[in-house]
Structure 1
């Protein structure tokens, strides 16, 4: 008699989170839905669906969706309340039509990513489902990195073939720029900086699953391949933010490794840099010069002038800011600093909520690492914390919330940190298994 077929796993919050991660990385960021008055991306639509389903699931107790307090959940709500408060204050008075339209668009965009984070915190249950979402993020980011490598190495742009019939391009968008005689790819992201930062976010996850497969069994070659593609693409983005993001992630992960593995990791980094020098002559030197000649770099000078431009705005709208989305770069100048931009547009209230979002993600990860005795969860907690550190630090070097893929991945990671902490709490509260004699009795 043949063995019974195991039942199919039903779709849940992790399934929707996987769909969201793939939509954000496979479909070019410039694509929006046809026939919709506002520029609505496929990722935004998936986010709205996740939000509606989360709300409906909170009304019943039979769908397995978590309820109750959680540090990441609270931080997400506080972030959403801060955005609504600044939107209300800004629209209470007069706003030029272009700034009002930008404020409306920003509110809708942030509502979608807020819904994603909330749905992940409560809807992704169990370590297996958390692993599934993180692995999907690695696969999606690897695909984006592969597209970027083709753009950098061969000037082949696959994004022109990744447009479904229901989508259209939102304005003139170029996925390949230039810097220091190199092509500067964006993959399927909106800009090379975003491309590099998103690839750097996925590097710790790929490394985690490669190491876990080696320690606990399972295929590891696929994850080493993903790690190599992601690390190479981060370098080829020719972005200071991406290089800084890789360094920050390494500062989280390497100290948490056993001593022998720590030495091998440092040796691997040196070997990787040497391979990049041979494969792409001049690339490592160009990246090095981006930091050594920062005083002469026009982009660095622009960032210094941005602080002066923002000073008067901050003094005039200290608490609530001038209104989210109302500081138009084409009109007032680029800031290239999310913390500075949040202080200008959302005031002290907004900047505290943004910092609290990152802090809540780190809190959930480190609490999970301290409480659990499972070495796999301990390593995963450090990995997710390192991933959240990438946007947390990179927010000081570019406008993170102005880029859809980086923002979506950030809220996914904060939601997964909350889901991991919730899983550890539930596992600790679960009663221990009875001894065999008690079971027999």
Structure 2
């Protein structure tokens, strides 16, 4: 394969991967194809479903993610399949995360472990490799802004689908996910996906918990709004993307999650910092209109959200999250730097800490917790760096959006053990790869900006 440059908006040239015969790479299966399939399986398959007949409890999305890791490794053995090579800050973060997890696994299993903890360590190592696989595949295997848009639009559509599932659960109390068990899969737990918070119902859609559902919606909502605004600017059909935005926003509300609101506030702060005043006012108007509709359609819902913050210091869920810190710090002190290996501290055998920073410090030590934050920060930096490198308005907006979105997992990690939830974890790693892919696209376009003739560049 090769990369050819073609003009887009404002006379700038952006890369498009083409085959040896000159046909667009998008006409055949590539990294974007696998990523689209992954995100739809990840979001549209209930989190409780795992593959039958395997010695480990893994979801179908995790199996596909591990396949993506194998494909990524094989393509890097060649020089003519169009896979990107060279340094990238998002990929550096993924490699650091892999290194610290392998080191912690080796350190933890070097000593004797009970068989149940060893089995959990093996399972978590497989899941870590699967998540890294999809991140690396997107970072290096999705070439060009068109293919990256395809992946991210699939994520938005998947978010709209689970928004519909969540709406059905919220309005009717009926858990439709119990009828979504596919052949070859089995349920790993029987818990329902519909909960109660005071007098208001809260739902999980296809994820494992309302908190996870809310954070997933918070991460996808800015992407949906980005493509809605982009379509309108380009004169393309845009109502479908605003419909997706509304469904994802409704899903966030139906989760009744404090973590989702905090994540969205942080993302919004980043977006507002890079928007014009006109866009800020327009976004504020849309937000107010949406809240009015939700207040009329679901009386009491907004009041419940207000109560999540006004009663913060007396909330039983907050008190539960903080009462066991002494136990956590004592356990961290036992294995300060490299932890006891991911998966070896698990519920119901041990106390659950609803804080990913604490959980990471126990699993992979202080080094692992720091690298976890660094990986997400590097992905955010990659998106913002792509924004600075490009002069195309849509690439710049997407870079700003991804830069803000990648801060959401950092914020949410303070309120629940994020890496214990497969859907939000898989989405986070896919978006890390997307930030890296966007940075590559912006870098590859730089030398070719201008009015000079386009020439193919082999990778």
After TM superposition, the score normalised by the length of structure 2 is 0.91
Displacement of 1:36 in angstroms is 1.6
Indicate conservation of the 8 Å contact 1:401/1:407, yes or no. Answer: yes
Displacement of 1:139 in angstroms is 0.5
Question: Partner residue of 1:387?
Answer: 405
Displacement of 1:264 in angstroms is 1.8
Question: Partner residue of 2:88?
Answer: 70
Question: Partner residue of 2:224?
Answer: 206
Question: Partner residue of 2:16?
Answer: none
Secondary structure of the corresponding residue to residue 102 of structure 1: helix
| CA RMSD after TM alignment | 1.7
Give the structure with the larger helix fraction: 1
Indicate conservation of the 8 Å contact 1:255/1:262, yes or no. Answer: no
1:425 equivalent to 2:425? Answer no
Displacement of 1:324 in angstroms is 1.1
Where does the alignment leave 5 or more consecutive residues of structure 1 unmatched? Answer: 437-441
Quote the Cα distance in structure 2 between the aligned partners of 1:175 and 1:243. 20
Deviations 1:85-118 (A, max 9, x none): 1111111111122222211111111110011111
Deviations 1:138-180 (A, max 9, x none): 0011111110110011123221232211111112231111111
Quote the Cα distance in structure 2 between the aligned partners of 1:244 and 1:352. 21
Question: Partner residue of 2:389?
Answer: 371
- Aligned mate of 1:135, from 146, 149, 153: 153
Question: Partner residue of 2:378?
Answer: 360
- Aligned mate of 1:181, from 180, 189, 199: 199
For residues 38-437 of structure 1, the aligned pairs below 5 Å read: 38-430=56-448, 432-434=450-452
Displacement of 1:433 in angstroms is 4.3
Secondary structure of the corresponding residue to residue 406 of structure 2: helix
Quote the Cα distance in structure 2 between the aligned partners of 1:288 and 1:431. 49
Quote the Cα distance in structure 2 between the aligned partners of 1:332 and 1:188. 26
Secondary structure of the corresponding residue to residue 189 of structure 1: coil
Indicate conservation of the 8 Å contact 1:33/1:167, yes or no. Answer: yes
Indicate conservation of the 8 Å contact 1:214/1:220, yes or no. Answer: yes
Distance change in 2, residues 1:82/1:8 (3 Å): closer
Quote the Cα distance in structure 2 between the aligned partners of 1:104 and 1:427. 42
Distance change in 2, residues 1:54/1:435 (3 Å): closer
Question: Partner residue of 2:54?
Answer: 36
Distance change in 2, residues 1:51/1:180 (3 Å): same
Indicate conservation of the 8 Å contact 1:394/1:400, yes or no. Answer: yes
Indicate conservation of the 8 Å contact 1:26/1:162, yes or no. Answer: no
Indicate conservation of the 8 Å contact 2:214/2:259, yes or no. Answer: yes
Where does the alignment leave 5 or more consecutive residues of structure 2 unmatched? Answer: 1-22, 455-459
Quote the Cα distance in structure 1 between the aligned partners of 2:96 and 2:25. 40
Distance change in 2, residues 1:332/1:287 (3 Å): same
Deviations 1:169-223 (A, max 9, x none): 1122311111112221110111111111101110000100111112222111011
Indicate conservation of the 8 Å contact 1:126/1:423, yes or no. Answer: yes
Quote the Cα distance in structure 1 between the aligned partners of 2:376 and 2:437. 15
Deviations 1:350-392 (A, max 9, x none): 0121011111111111111111111111101011112111112
Quote the Cα distance in structure 1 between the aligned partners of 2:429 and 2:37. 15
Secondary structure of the corresponding residue to residue 177 of structure 1: strand
Quote the Cα distance in structure 1 between the aligned partners of 2:273 and 2:289. 19
Secondary structure of the corresponding residue to residue 262 of structure 1: helix
Quote the Cα distance in structure 1 between the aligned partners of 2:160 and 2:198. 25
Moved over 6 A (4+): 5-8
Quote the Cα distance in structure 2 between the aligned partners of 1:401 and 1:265. 31
Quote the Cα distance in structure 2 between the aligned partners of 1:424 and 1:251. 24
Indicate conservation of the 8 Å contact 1:152/1:182, yes or no. Answer: no
Distance change in 2, residues 1:178/1:10 (3 Å): same
Displacement of 1:405 in angstroms is 0.6
Displacement of 1:6 in angstroms is 9.3
Indicate conservation of the 8 Å contact 2:124/2:342, yes or no. Answer: yes
Quote the Cα distance in structure 2 between the aligned partners of 1:416 and 1:11. 18
Question: Partner residue of 1:439?
Answer: none
Quote the Cα distance in structure 2 between the aligned partners of 1:64 and 1:309. 50
Indicate conservation of the 8 Å contact 2:203/2:210, yes or no. Answer: yes
